[in-house]
Amino acid sequence: MASLPSPALLVALIVGGGFVIWWAWQNQRRRTHPVPPGLQEGIDLPFDEEFELYHNALSLCSMKTRLCMAELGVRYKSHHIDLIETGCYENIRPRLLDVNPGGTVPVLVHQGHPVYESHEQIRFAAQHALPSSPGLIPDDAAARAEMESWIDRTSLTDDPIQHGDQSAGNAVPGLTLPLFCTMIEKIPFWKIFEGVLFHFDKKRPLLFVALKTAGIEKIGRLGLPMKILARSRDQMGVHLDALEAQLEKTGGPWLLGTQYTLADVGWLVIFERLRQVDSIEPFLGNGQRPACAGYWTALTSRPAYREAILEHSQPLIEQGLERLRSAKDADPVLRQLLEGG
Ligand SMILES: N[C@@H](CCC(=O)N[C@@H](CS)C(=O)NCC(=O)O)C(=O)O
């Protein structure tokens, strides 16, 4: 006669089976799919205020939309959504997936209709702001076309670690890897595990596992992330050279000359990210790009910078930056590795 399974095996089977059923159920609820860019008039979401914004403190694209709203003086109801680097994978839970089945932030919601993609959100907001709002879009068609090309050049599109040669926005995630590494130190492994189970792009949580396991001092041992960082650094240098030439041509103070436009919104958040990853000096120091340096100083003097960026920063971001600085101060080889030169 066959013997009964031991109580320990029985418990393991019940727990394991329960986990698989829970995972399959959650996986179904958290299914993602690509969403079209722009305003989705066919989607109706519950809303309390004319504008609502689902965003994250650190996310480049969220900073861009927040900044644009602040420049326009348009109020919105704020829904902060954590990403793993700021605490947990809230972006792949139903609260956000109901609003954006793509699983990313930001999402601007206008009278219940979502607008996807931050570069579309800033265009939408600028076109739908009050008549009394400052005009962030030039009247002149040629200037508008030029602004559009710079919006494209600062956008983050498709795969965040590809196409950095086409857009400075796509060079940003690679440059952020060291900050991700110091911020993730504070996040327990089990929180990253939620991403391993449910994230639509498993490479991303696995990258965070690798960064957390290595730590900032040993980040140089991670071959692929280091390659992405070096490539992104070169690509950002090329975009900044183009920006330098543009600023010299127009004479500033803004990208298109005297009018501050959506193109400046795009660049401000890229410079802010360079600040957050302690890379202002490597790119702008020693008089390398004086027009860009003056431009960045002018951008930081705008009240919207304080309102939309500094006032939304989190201790985790600033502590991550401090940790990154002190690791580089302690190890010149690490500095060389992260900053190149
Ligand atoms: N092209 C999109 C990019 C959106 C995007 O990738 N957002 C990032 C933060 S900047 C995100 O939500 N990532 C979540 C994740 O990878 O888990 C836009 O411009 O809005």
- Tens of pLDDT, residues 201-240: 999 999 999 999 999 999 999 999 999 999 999 999 999 9
- Tens of pLDDT, residues 18-42: 999 999 999 999 999 999 999 999 9
Distance from the CA of 99 to the center of ligand 1, in angstroms? Answer: 14
Per-residue pLDDT band for 334 (boundaries 50, 70, 90) equals very high
CB-based pocket (< 6 A), ligand 1: 59-61, 83, 91, 104-106, 117-119, 156-157, 160, 204
Q: Which residue has the higher pLDDT, 10 or 255?
A: 255
On the question of a cis peptide bond just before residue 5, with omega within 30 degrees of 0, the verdict is no
pLDDT at res. 178: 98
Q: Is the confidence at residue 106, as pLDDT, over 90?
A: yes
Q: Is the confidence at residue 1, as pLDDT, over 70?
A: no
pLDDT at res. 133: 84
Total count of residues recorded for the chain: 341
Q: CA-to-CA distance for 3 and 125, rounded, in angstroms?
A: 70
Q: What mean pLDDT do residues 39-49 have?
A: 98
pLDDT at res. 220: 97
Distance from the CA of 147 to the center of ligand 1, in angstroms? Answer: 22
The pTM of the full predicted model, rounded to 2 decimals, is: 0.96
- Tens of pLDDT, residues 128-171: 988 888 899 999 999 999 999 999 999 999 888 899 999 999 99
pLDDT at res. 158: 80
- Tens of pLDDT, residues 258-303: 999 999 999 999 999 999 999 999 999 999 999 999 999 999 999 9
Distance from the CA of 106 to the center of ligand 1, in angstroms? Answer: 7
Q: For residue 60, which atom of ligand 1 is closest to its CA? A: 10
Distance from the CA of 259 to the center of ligand 1, in angstroms? Answer: 29
Q: For residue 169, which atom of ligand 1 is closest to its CA? A: 19
Q: Are 261 and 215 in contact (CB under 8 A)?
A: no
- Tens of pLDDT, residues 241-253: 999 999 999 999 9
Q: What mean pLDDT do residues 81-103 have?
A: 98
Distance from the CA of 251 to the center of ligand 1, in angstroms? Answer: 33
Q: Which two tokens stand for residue 6?
A: 């031991």
Q: For residue 84, which atom of ligand 1 is closest to its CA? A: 17
In angstroms, the Cα distances linking 262 to 136, 236, 243 are: 6, 20, 15
Helix (H) or strand (E) run with residue 51 in it: strand 51-55
3-state secondary structure of 147: helix
Distance from the CA of 105 to the center of ligand 1, in angstroms? Answer: 5
**Best mutation site among 58, 61, 96, 162 for ligand 1 pocket (most ligand atoms within 8 Å of CB):** 61
